[in-house]
């Protein structure tokens, strides 16, 4: 049995018929081809699959696609339309906030919600906000530094021209 769903993803309406068991992360990656959202554990621990659902950071391996019917979803691709870096992505680039980059999309989506709710978050608040996101490479120092640095940028919605760096921060 398949169920029809309509979900707005990065500003575009998408419609499909999906199995009730299909996780939202697999809808994004396998049905829509938005592979910037990574799957690290599939068990709600690593946070690499974090996206925004109606503005709230959600681990997309934790929610069924049918539960997101009618929602407004944003993935890492939606932060960088037309190859322009979002200020948080730019801050990750400027502050070496990534190594392998696997956790980076989830970190950036979590940071996006965090800074929207608390644009002047302290370092401690940033660390607390990242508790659901695991990084195996960096030791977190430069990730936290990047997010704090992003606060000083003019506007969280303002974008900057992407260079060669855009892909690294968004994939």
Q: Which residues bind ligand FES (CB under 6 A)?
A: 39-42, 44-49, 59, 61, 98-103, 135-138
Least distance from ligand FES to the Cβ atom of residue 52, Å: 14
Nearer to ligand FES (CB atom), residue 101 or residue 156: 101
d(C-alpha 90, C-alpha 147), whole Å: 10
Least distance from ligand FES to the Cβ atom of residue 168, Å: 10
Output helix, strand, coil percentages for the chain, rounded to the nearest 5: 35, 20, 45
Least distance from ligand FES to the Cβ atom of residue 25, Å: 6
Q: CB within 8 A of 47, min separation 6: which ones?
A: 40, 59, 103, 106, 107, 110, 132, 133, 134
Which among 47, 60, 146 has a CA at the least distance from the CA of 96?
146
Instruction: Give Cα 39 distance to the centre of its chain.
Output: 12
Q: Which residue has the tokens 């979002």?
A: 86
Nearer to ligand FES (CB atom), residue 47 or residue 81: 47
Nearer to ligand FES (CB atom), residue 128 or residue 136: 136
Least distance from ligand FES to the Cβ atom of residue 158, Å: 25
Nearer to ligand FES (CB atom), residue 7 or residue 155: 7
């Amino acid at each position: 049995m398949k169920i029809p769903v309509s979900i707005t993803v990065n500003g575009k309406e998408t419609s499909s018929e999906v199995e009730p068991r299909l996780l939202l992360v697999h809808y994004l990656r396998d049905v829509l081809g938005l592979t910037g959202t990574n799957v690290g554990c599939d068990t709600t621990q690593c946070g690499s699959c974090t996206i925004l659902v109606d503005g709230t950071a959600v681990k997309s391996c934790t929610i069924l696609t049918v539960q997101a019917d009618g929602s407004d979803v944003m993935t890492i691709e939606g932060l960088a339309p037309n190859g322009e870096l979002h200020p948080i992505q730019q801050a990750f680039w400027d502050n070496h906030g990534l190594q392998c980059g696997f956790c980076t999309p989830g970190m950036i989506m979590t940071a996006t919600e965090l800074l929207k709710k608390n644009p002047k978050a302290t370092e401690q608040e940033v660390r607390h906000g990242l508790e659901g996101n695991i990084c195996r490479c960096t030791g977190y120092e430069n990730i936290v530094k990047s997010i704090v640095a992003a606060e000083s940028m003019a506007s969280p919605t303002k974008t900057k021209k992407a260079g060669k760096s855009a892909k690294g921060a968004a994939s």
